[in-house]
Structure 1
Amino acid sequence: MRGLLKLSVRAVSCVPRRPCSGGRPPAPLGARVLTNPRDIFQHNMWDHVQWTEEETEEARQKAEQNSEEKIPVEEQSKYDREAHKYWDRFYGMHQRKFFRNRTWLFTEFPELLPPDEEQEQDLCSESGSREKQQPCGSCTLTSHMDTFPGQHAAFRILEVGCGAGNSVFPIINTIRSSKAFLYCCDFSSQAIELIQEHPDYDPAVCHAFVRDICDTTSPFPFPPESLDIILVVFVLSAIHPARRAQDVVTSLAGFLKQGGIMLFRDYGRYDLAQLRFKKGQCLSENFYTRQDGTCVYFFTKDEVHHLFSNAGLEELQNLEDRRLQVNRGKKVVMHRVWMQSKYRKPYLIPD
């Protein structure tokens, strides 16, 4: 996009760091802020970037142009009907070579860190004071399921759309000596095989399984209201907007305990990846198919809020993560836009 350097001249403000408690890191969406345009090629990424009205309009026009020519209606259904084939082929081709562990995971989502014993007691006290019937994470879970993986854990995490495990294994290695347990699922059986064959995979702390989250009628291997955290990273964007994205979020919310949190990160509207699509790759507004047949949607802040609030969750965080990505060798500057959100299941107040 033109005007990138002009954008970098503008002063940008850093999102304030959240105070740390219990040794947990803050979640500032990065703290590298460009204040002097002459420094732009000193780093690979700059955080908290503001766009001018001109740049926003130029991005809107590019997205409009690459959406003018839609894939024929008679061909569109195959991308939904055969999605598992495209994703199996994707993971079969790339294996683990395409992916890097998410080093930002615990910085941006410290909620993934299991509480220590003192924090567990505080959670029990807080839960007991707010409502008397729902146990907290370290208390006994009552369920219609007699046994299930991770039933004795005090802290349960689910990652949906776990892919080849670039979030799974940082989490496993962090929770291994704690009372936490991780569930992870993916649409692709090839992805789950990669995880289960990984040397760091440990059934004592993790249960990986194949699951199409759009099928809201199939059972999960744990009971409702049994999860403390649900991690949804670059997953909902792969679902066709007409294929019940709202139903997916609502269904997942039913597995959160009261006070449980859903953590979300995905593509934002007018991200570089959206503007690079060519004509003829658009399925519907802001929804595209890549050359390999996998699909991607680009969200706005309001769309994200509606998805989670309509599922009965309350907003803790809903941010546009706008950055400048820099290719220092080629002297190229690129706009990146991601959405990052945290939504909590409210506590029920007893009558």
Structure 2
Amino acid sequence: MEVQGGGELENASKHEAEAEYHSHDFEWEDLKAKVEADPAFSYHLSPFPGHATTATTSPLPPSSSEAWRSFHRHHASGKFFKERRYLLKEFPELLNSKVCAKILEVGCGNGSTAVSILRSSESVTVFACDCSKDTLEKANEIISSTKGIDIKDRFHPFLMDVSKETFPDWLFCKACQSSLGKAAELLLDPSHHKIRKEHLVFLRENQCCVGGMDFITMIFTLSAIPFDIMPTTIEQCVSVLKPGGLILFRDYGLYDMTMLRFLPHQRVGFREYVRSDGTFSYFFSLDTVRELVHTAGLIELELEYCCINSVNRKNGKKMQRVWVHGKFQKPTS
């Protein structure tokens, strides 16, 4: 479920885009003070009716997954997303990874992240899931036709809605598969369509994952699902990550320009919004991300706001973008 991150830069040159993505043009605290002092933005700050400010429960609109599939169908040309070369600078571990590293991309969209990773090394293997069959086909088409990349046995896209389904058992290492048994079939509670937490605990405590994923990328993916599903989504990722492996995270940050553009009627929870096309978006604070990853047992290596000034080349309007950048490690013991 790749979302609309960085689309405003698509007309900039690659060099300019990379420079912008890797600078801190303003202080997040200054933006926070400005937003919170402006009455026009007060509806973004107030508690959501019936919900605590921690957003412990916020239902996903029933049509959300289909809305994302529809979104990808409408943008099937592949022009909407640009190759994310900047990620290799943000996450140099991908460039310096060992031979035969295995990477899982959760919510791959049309392959704008995977193509950069595959180009960076001839020995990495990328597993990539998305809820849209159309966008997976487009990703495979784009990557297969990219010069300089041989994807034979290196790119494995598979259909999966991470907000509702569990990873297929073949994604786990072989040692883990033998201990997993029928537990994988029980991970999904058919009566509530949610992952059973007790089974996730089973996975975390009983699987070694010595042959699991070296890296998991979550690039503008977690924000596309409701807050109350996020903990089990991260737990799932931890279950297929080998000890010492990294989750590489980038997503919408609190007070990003996109958040401030939402109207009051589009607000469906605390820091949660639905676009006019039915797609969902959450905006993260550092504290929220920190609590999510610590609860999942991950070690925080990096966590910060990335604050970027970009300019709409059509109308010259300045835009203040905020993303959250993070690196989190699965303990080795």
TM-score normalised by the chain length of structure 2 = 0.71
| Contact 1:258 1:345 (8 Å CA) reproduced | yes
Q: Which residue of 2 aligns with 1:236?
A: 222
- How do 1:262-277 residues align onto structure 2 when only pairs under 5 Å count? 262-277=247-262
| Structure 2 CA distance for partners of 1:247 and 1:271, relative to 1, 3 Å | same
| Structure 2 CA distance for partners of 1:53 and 1:279, relative to 1, 3 Å | closer
Query: 2:265 aligns to what SS in structure 1?
Result: coil
Match of 1:99 among 81, 97, 104: 81
Give the Å deviation of 1:281: 0.7
Give the Å deviation of 1:30: 2.0
Query: 2:227 aligns to what SS in structure 1?
Result: coil
Give the Å deviation of 1:317: 0.2
CA distance in 2, matches of 1:313, 1:229: 13
After alignment, is 54-63 or 219-228 more displaced? 54-63
Query: 2:327 aligns to what SS in structure 1?
Result: strand
Amino acid at match of 2:223: S
Match of 2:109 among 155, 159, 163: 163
Q: Which residue of 1 aligns with 2:53?
A: none
CA distance in 2, matches of 1:171, 1:269: 28
| Structure 2 CA distance for partners of 1:66 and 1:309, relative to 1, 3 Å | closer
Give the Å deviation of 1:276: 0.4
| Structure 2 CA distance for partners of 1:88 and 1:103, relative to 1, 3 Å | same
- How do 1:255-266 residues align onto structure 2 when only pairs under 5 Å count? 255-266=240-251
| Structure 2 CA distance for partners of 1:235 and 1:55, relative to 1, 3 Å | same
Query: 1:158 aligns to what SS in structure 2?
Result: strand
Amino acid at match of 2:279: T
- How do 1:164-183 residues align onto structure 2 when only pairs under 5 Å count? 164-175=110-121, 177-178=122-123, 180-183=124-127
| Structure 2 CA distance for partners of 1:217 and 1:287, relative to 1, 3 Å | same
Q: Superposition RMSD on alpha carbons, in Å?
A: 2.8
Identity %: 33
Amino acid at match of 1:113: L
After superposition, what is the alpha-carbon deviation per residue over 1:282-315, rounded to whole angstroms, capped at 9, x for unaligned? 1111111111110100010000011111111101
TM-score normalised by the chain length of structure 1 = 0.68
Give the Å deviation of 1:331: 4.9
Q: Which residue of 1 aligns with 2:41?
A: 62
Query: 2:157 aligns to what SS in structure 1?
Result: strand
- How do 1:1-351 residues align onto structure 2 when only pairs under 5 Å count? 30-31=22-23, 46=25, 51=30, 54-58=33-37, 62=41, 64=43, 80-95=61-76, 96-115=78-97, 120=98, 154-175=100-121, 177-178=122-123, 180-198=124-142, 199-200=145-146, 202-215=151-164, 217-224=166-173, 225=209, 226-242=212-228, 244-327=229-312, 330-348=315-333
CA distance in 2, matches of 1:85, 1:53: 34
| Structure 2 CA distance for partners of 1:60 and 1:239, relative to 1, 3 Å | farther
| Structure 2 CA distance for partners of 1:218 and 1:233, relative to 1, 3 Å | closer
Structure showing the higher helix proportion among its residues: 2
Amino acid at match of 1:301: L
CA distance in 1, matches of 2:254, 2:39: 9
Unaligned runs of 5+ in 2: 1-18, 50-57, 174-208
Q: How many residues align?
A: 264
Amino acid at match of 1:278: L
Q: Which has the higher Rg, Structure 1 or Structure 2?
A: 1
| Contact 1:267 1:297 (8 Å CA) reproduced | yes
CA distance in 1, matches of 2:106, 2:305: 22
CA distance in 2, matches of 1:234, 1:298: 10
CA distance in 2, matches of 1:111, 1:59: 40
